Structure 1
Amino acid sequence: MSLETGSPRHFVKAAMAAPYLEREEEHDLAVSWRTDHDEKALARLAASHMRLVISIASRFRHFGLPMGDLIQEGHVGLLEAAARFEPERNVRFSTYATWWIRASIQDYILRNWSIVRGGTSSTQKALFFNLRRLRAKMARNGSGSPDPAMYEEIASAIGVSKADVELMNSRLSAPDTSLNAPVIESDAAAADRQDFLPCPQPLQDQTVSETIDTDRRTRWLHVALNELNERELRIVRERRLTEDGATLESLGEKLGISKERVRQIENRALQKLRSALLRDHERAVFVN
């Protein structure tokens, strides 16, 4: 019986009634499934471990998600464990499957607990579940919110930054809020929350102005480069206009001159460029 064809209660009763497997029988079923792809062997192996799935799923029932869905996701993890299990390692299948069942359930919770995707890395996932457990424990004990020292302790234990702990705690403290919701709930004409989000991008007029200035400077530079002779142009290009500028020594070897002579030619070329750029700039200002 599956969760689609029967009620969760009947499914749980059927799972609890499934017989346990002896070690040898479990090993034989695992070998049959791995070597011969025996579907009946897989079915018996999975059915005998559904009580393990239910037990692990029950630990996550406080996340507000249907118990039937948690069991279903745990069953997916159980089948994944069966596909990867290596019977020759002489390890009980339940020991190996526990990790896959728990991981499948946790992934399902992270996908459905909030519209905003969270816990995409293993450390973030550990932070999500450990911080929820800590908050639930403090609520039972009547404690308040975690203090900064507790944030530091959690961050150190899990391997994340204190800022990550504070951010996750703020996410767990309030439900999702639509950015299209009005700031004043009673006023339908009020501005949306998204209207008050700061935009990190520059203003359009600033972007256009920077684009125009960049194009103008590029044109001036190309015109100024025409003032240089062939050797000066080569030195400036290889020294100043490439990402990894050439050294004086390497250029001297290529040109057959000393590095001091390369430096002198470079300084003279830069002075020519400076004079040409100033002249073009003054001309542009005068025309404008």
Structure 2
Amino acid sequence: MRQVSADRRMIKAAMAAPYLARDEEQELARAWREASDQNARNKIAMAHMRLVVSMAVKFRNFGLPMGDLIQEGHVGLLEAAARFEPSRDVRFSTYATWWIRASMQDYVLRNWSIVRGGTSSAQKALFFNLRRLRAKLAQGDRQLTAQAVHEEIAAALGVSLADVQTMDARLSGSDTSLQAPISSSDSSGGERLDLLASEAPLPDEQVSILIDEERRRAWLDHAMTNLNEREMKIIRARRLADTGATLEELGADLGISKERVRQIETRAMEKLKVALLAQAPGLAVAH
């Protein structure tokens, strides 16, 4: 109740603010641009707060608090006042409308849902115009299917049919917490999260993967015993380290040319291939 009263007072003050004549508006704008007069900027902004209220009314269908919308619009209004150039032959209200709308749209996109929507200009246009266009098409004499409605909206806004269908589904539904109970009558304490299918391997698959990895590690360790010390060092540095060493680095470390390192590495890999195939004839060995 207290918030509602505060919102009403804010709206009342905005609607009661006096209009500015064009000459007065220009004079205040020059005072701000040339002398950084904060009072002049604030006076311009206050005189146009009714624009903010009017715009907030258009966005109230998204279910967000009217007071918050007005505050966000006020931020856009102050930004417009700070950027307005009186030398341009345009009224401040025309210039400020864009900033107010942009500020409110950004607020709606950030707070309407816990699931973030698209941020491209096309996605924003779809988000804010889908309901209006759908209602407009429904008023016509034609009996359109949902598919036909989506196709006409996609063509009008220049987005894909899939984008329209996805956005329509989001706007028609509501967010649900994964920690919410499965049902009000469920006394087991189960949550919606429990019903999600895991993409991780099943327990028996995890055991099988672990056994295969251990077997391959044992085969590789045994095959490495066929290499001499220098071959082993090159293979470990080039093939088994998280970040493989370069031929130049190993050449400098071993006191040989990078071409010689490459030759030794090739020979060592052939030895490993022979040794691994001897242990597991059907094993696919990567080069």
TM-score scaled to structure 2, two decimals?
Answer: 0.70
Query: What is the rounded CA distance, in whole Å, between the counterparts of 1:151 and 1:18 in structure 2?
Result: 43
Q: Distance in 2 between matches of 1:274 and 1:39?
A: 78
1:8-23 aligned within 5 A:
8-23=7-22
- CA root-mean-square deviation: 4.3
Structure 1 counterpart of 2:92, one-letter code: F
Please list the CA deviations of residues 101-160 of structure 1 after superposition, one character each: whole Å capped at 9, or x if unmatched: 11221222233333433344443322211212223435656967631x443443455454
Q: Which residue of 2 aligns with 1:100?
A: 99
Q: Distance in 2 between matches of 1:125 and 1:26?
A: 32
Partner SS state of residue 19, structure 1: coil
Give the secondary-structure state (helix, strand or coil) at the position aligned to 2:278.
Answer: helix
Q: Does the CA contact (< 8 Å) of 1:182 and 1:188 recur in 2? A: no
Shift of 1:52: 1.6
SS state of the match for residue 227, structure 1? coil
Q: Give the letter for the 1:95 counterpart.
A: T
Gaps spanning 5+ residues in structure 1: where?
247-252, 257-261, 283-288
* C-alpha separation in 2, matches of 1:10 and 1:125: 32
Partner of 2:253 in structure 1?
none
Question: Which residue number corresponds to residue 43 of structure 2?
Answer: 44
Residue pairs, 1:49-88, within 5 angstroms: 49-88=48-87
Give 3-state SS (helix, strand or coil) of 1:59's partner. Answer: helix
Q: 1:91 to 1:234 in 2, by over 3 A?
A: farther
- The Cα shift of 1:234 comes to 10
Equivalent positions of 1:217-256 (< 5 A) are 217-218=216-217, 220-221=219-220, 223-228=222-227, 255=259
Cα 1:152–1:137 shift into 2, 3 Å:
closer
CA distance in 2, matches of 1:161, 1:235: 53
**Residues 225 and 273 of structure 1 are in contact (CA less than 8 Å); yes or no, is this contact kept in structure 2?**
yes
Contact 1:220 1:280 in 2 (8 A): yes
Shift of the 255–15 alpha-carbon distance from structure 1 to 2, 3 Å rule, reads closer
Amino acid at match of 2:146: P
Seq. identity, %: 59
Q: Which sections of structure 2, spanning at least 5 residues, go unmatched?
A: 247-256, 282-287
Look up the match of 1:25: 24
List aligned pairs for 1:118-267, cutoff 5 A.
118-138=117-137, 146-147=146-147, 149-189=148-188, 191-207=190-206, 209-211=208-210, 213-214=212-213, 216-218=215-217, 220-221=219-220, 223-228=222-227, 255=259, 266=266
Counterpart-to-counterpart distance in 1, 2:175 and 2:209: 39
Deviation at 1:198, TM superposition (A): 1.8
In structure 2, distance between residues paired with 1:192 and 1:277: 49
Q: In the TM superposition, what whole-angstrom CA distance separates every residue of 1:23-70 from its partner, at most 9, and x where no partner exists?
A: 343233223223433221122101121122122222223333343332
Q: Pick closer, same or farther for the CA change 1:5–1:33 going to 2, 3 Å.
A: farther
Report the CA distance between 1:276 and its aligned residue: 0.6
TM-score by length of 1: 0.70
Task: Report the residue type matching 1:146 in the other structure.
Answer: A
Report the number of matched residues. Answer: 270
Is residue 266 of structure 2 the alignment partner of residue 272 of structure 1? no
Match of 2:198, as an amino acid? C
Contact 1:42/1:82 (8 A) holds in 2: yes
Report the Cα offset of residue 98 of structure 1: 1.3
Q: Secondary structure in 2 aligned to 1:60?
A: helix
**CA distance in 2 between partners of 1:133 and 1:66 (Å):** 21
Distance in 1 separating the partners of 2:137 and 2:126 = 16
Would you say the 8 A contact 1:184–1:190 is kept in 2?
no
Q: CA distance change for structure 1 residues 234 and 191 in 2, over 3 Å: closer, same or farther?
A: closer
**1:78 Cα offset (Å):** 0.6
